Amino acid sequence: MIDPETVASFIRETARSVILPRFRALKREDISEKGPGDFVTIADLEAERRLSALLTEAQPGSAVLGEEGAAKDPTLMRLAGGAAPLWIIDPIDGTNNFAHGQPGFAVILAYVEEGAVRAGWLYDPLGERLAWAVLGRGAWSNGTRLKTAQPPGRITGSAYGKAASGERAAKALSRNVRVGGIRNQGCSGLEYLSIALGETHFALHSRSLPWDHAAGMLITSESSGKACFLDGGPYDPGVFDRAVLAASGGEAWQIVHEIVTSAADHRPA
């Protein structure tokens, strides 16, 4: 595998040369929809092409599964469960924010081999914050090994999808006395980054598309957190439609799990 810092330099260079020059400078024809409300911009497409070229040139024989490539050719999704070296790319996570000139977007990159996530990178271009992890070697940012923050009291984080009770997971969590607040940023990359940097305590997502979650799940685990499917099964980048829950530790994970998987309406006393 390529040195993690080299991959980080590819991400920063792509953000600097392709993504940021387009921010708040998109023309109407630079934005289209893959589906209702599912935006893609010229910056997404150019960034994915740029990263794909850099990574496959640096590691001959590796393949690429990019969000935009898979949107055009869904058969590429089978690569996520294969044994060959694979780069999984979300060139701009939070495209809806980006397309509307709003902050709240990130670059997500993961390296998968033998069906397991071996490395992951999260980059916030506006804040110039980057975290990366290699399986078994910890998670890092600016030369510092990361360790998630254990909540002193109530936990905070993000949540998407529905709880078992039928209501929105964010609503069920926000009114529980053990939860101090919910902030959905519309960007899973930033939400995972916030956990790794010790700013928040959990992120719950109703789907497990690999470009959104492969890197963040590994980085959470390698920074001493707990990250797996909501049902407790180990994360698998080849599974696309199961809820995932990442948390700063087992206690925070269990609190969220208990609230959202209970069929009862958990209103605080």
Residues 134 and 206 grouped into a single domain: no
Residue scoring higher pLDDT (7 or 1): 7
Domain total of the chain: 2
Say yes or no: 128 and 15 in one domain: yes
Summary count for the chain: helices (H), strands (E): 8, 14
Statement: residue 59 has pLDDT above 50? yes
Domain end residue (candidates: 111, 145, 179): 145
Alpha-carbon distance values, 48 to 57, 81, 83, 197, 225 (Å): 14, 20, 22, 26, 29
Is residue 49 a part of any domain in this protein? Answer: yes
pLDDT at 265: 53
Q: How many CB atoms lie within 10 A of CB 264?
A: 7
The reply to whether 74 and 141 lie within a common domain is yes
Provide the strand spans (E) within 83-238. Answer: 86-93, 106-113, 116-124, 129-134, 139-141, 144-145, 155-159, 179-182, 202-205, 226-229
Is 99 within the bounds of a domain?
yes
Residue 220 has pLDDT above 80, yes or no: yes
- Confidence check: pLDDT of 94 > 50: yes
Determine the pLDDT at residue 1.
81
Determine, yes or no, domain membership for 239. Answer: yes
pLDDT category at 150 given cuts 50, 70, 90 is confident
